Structure 1
Amino acid sequence: MIPPSPLPQTEPPHDCPRCPRLVALREGLRADYPDWWNAPVPAFGDPDAWLGIIGLAPGKHGANRTGRPFTGDYAGDLMFATLAKFGFTSGTYANRADDGFRLHGTIIVNSVKCLPPENKPTPEEVRTCRPFAEAQVDQLTNARIFVALGQIAHQSAVKILGGKLPKCRFGHLAEHHMPDGRVLIDSYHCSRYNQNTGRLTAEMFEAVFARALELRGRV
């Protein structure tokens, strides 16, 4: 069973028609894997979170399969182990959406709700889906600190938070102060590729959340 969205009024419909390429992929996967989620993936976490995590999009064998962000794939192993280390979780992560695992003080919102081919949404698809992420961030009235996972999420996050991209260049552990005082911290995405190539290590990923905790209460 997929846990209910913490922000139900902001989610796209189960059969969202906005992006034809993503719809075609979804329909093909529904035929090939009828037991998978194969739909827009809802946010996951605490609606009263002080920390918002903005991801890219569902992974084919992860969130697109299980219906919960970062659940069931390699990226999720590092994501949830790191959040557990910093006290953001309860329960035991078991790679499935019905494992009883929960987030506290943080929430994960994706820039793109549906699985894109080869994990690469087009700029148009990112723009088309942005209103959902924007509505979700607007609901997070307690969140003053955000973490963006990768360049695409960074670009969406800057726009959603009211910043200017020319002044906010992506870089691991880069900090961007928004006009209203909120802070965005960049991280390389915790993808299998980034981990396997050494672009992102567990220590580097942990440093992002350590910095978020340092900033809590200052912004």
Structure 2
Amino acid sequence: MTHLCAVTILMTAISAVAILTSIAIVRRILMATSVLKVAAKLIGEVQALIIFPLIPYAILAVFYMFWTSAALHLFSSGQIVQNDCNSNCCTYDLVAKRVNCDRCCGYSNHYTPHIGISIIFHLFGCYWSTQFFVASSSTVVAGSVASYYWAHGETSPEIPVLSVFSSMKRFMRYSIGSVALGSLIVSFVESIRFLLESLRRRLKVSSHVH
């Protein structure tokens, strides 16, 4: 009986908190409901927005195929060098079927400075291109939605029938340079942030070890 009473009090408290929280955010709930209604109406009017996300995904898929092919070529362009043996070691050679003490330290791939710089540029170019395609997609969608928004949700002769493709045309004519520069800046900032975060983690691990 005591446990049942405690559970009842706990559930009552949870229900009271839930009701008070719902009352506190009722304005935001109404705003979100209005946004969803407008979004549903927008999708009904601009139906090309349903199909448009497939275009940047297809472009990214083709880009990643070419990028992966170039990356495999770069990573395999190094020189295979035998490691230096600082201690006596022996291993069984499966080809010669005998114990070999000359080549037991393994091999490693050594890159020239030019190949190393090319690999870094290739990795950065992948991130920059990804940011560019994502930003381009967002810009096209925003331009298409803006045409509908400024018409106050009504049919207007100023709004083209295929507003998504008209937005793509405006993007290619006016905004592609700004998007490329913005994605480059974002890529630089995110790369520096990634390097600093990696350095912070290494310093944290080394401090715990010592």
Shorter-chain TM band = under 0.3
Name whichever structure is richer in helix by fraction.
Answer: 2
RCO higher in 1 or 2 (8 Å CA, sep ≥ 6)? 1
Larger radius of gyration: 2
